Amino acid sequence: MESGPVSQLITMIIFAVAAVVVLYQLYAVLGRRVGRQPEDAANPPVTPPVREELDARSEEDAAALTGLAALRARDPSFDAGRFLNGARSAYEMIVKDFAEGDREALQNLLAPGVLAAFEKVIAAREAAGETQSVEFIQPPRGDLETIKVEGDKAGIKVRFLAEQRVRTRTSEGEAVDDRRTAEAWTFERNLKSRDPNWLLVRVDAAEA
């Protein structure tokens, strides 16, 4: 029988099929994208938490910008730096006048609701026979927090950080208390009014 050539042909076919299988398996592994590819460097993936944080910051910045732009649209002369200087001066005056119980001075600086709350504390001190005075150990710091325009009212929140020395005098003597305070004060102004002054309408605790 002439089995030599036939068996060689069969052997070659088997090797050829095996080679095709091996090559397919190699392609299946090497042809996949494993790990970071060179083209990925230009567009690194952003995980959902980071993306949400970036979006939140963008919204906050946009809100602050919108508030300032809205205020300047109604009052082109508004200057944030000049306002903060005035707010710091008002803060020192109000704190001192409140401690000394100067109702007349406070009337020009406070909205009616805040004035009523301050007067209750002043009356309680007077009934207890106490007097107070405040001095600032160093100039207070004021940072602009938010600006809002709603209708004809503009509101600005300022965070104040201060170191105060409070002296309280009673019939038993004098007590001295050094304090560090952090408060958020909100000032408002009617944009239709010719009066350029801002009134204190709210006082909240703030983070130091």
Q: Is the pTM of this model over 0.85?
A: no
Dump pLDDT digits (tens) for 30-81: 333 333 334 444 443 343 343 343 344 454 454 555 789 999 999 999 999 9
Spatial separation of the C-alpha atoms in residues 192 and 205, rounded to whole Å:
30
Q: 200 vs 66, 90, 107, 114, 160, CA distance in Å?
A: 22, 9, 10, 7, 13
Q: What is the pLDDT of residue 64?
A: 52
CA distance 161 to 164: 10
Structural domains of the chain ordered from first start: 49-205 (3.10.450.240)
- Give CA separation, 87 vs 16, 62, 123, 186, 188, in Å: 88, 24, 26, 10, 11
- Interacting residues of 91 by C-beta distance below 8 A, sequence separation 6+: 140, 142, 158, 160, 162, 185
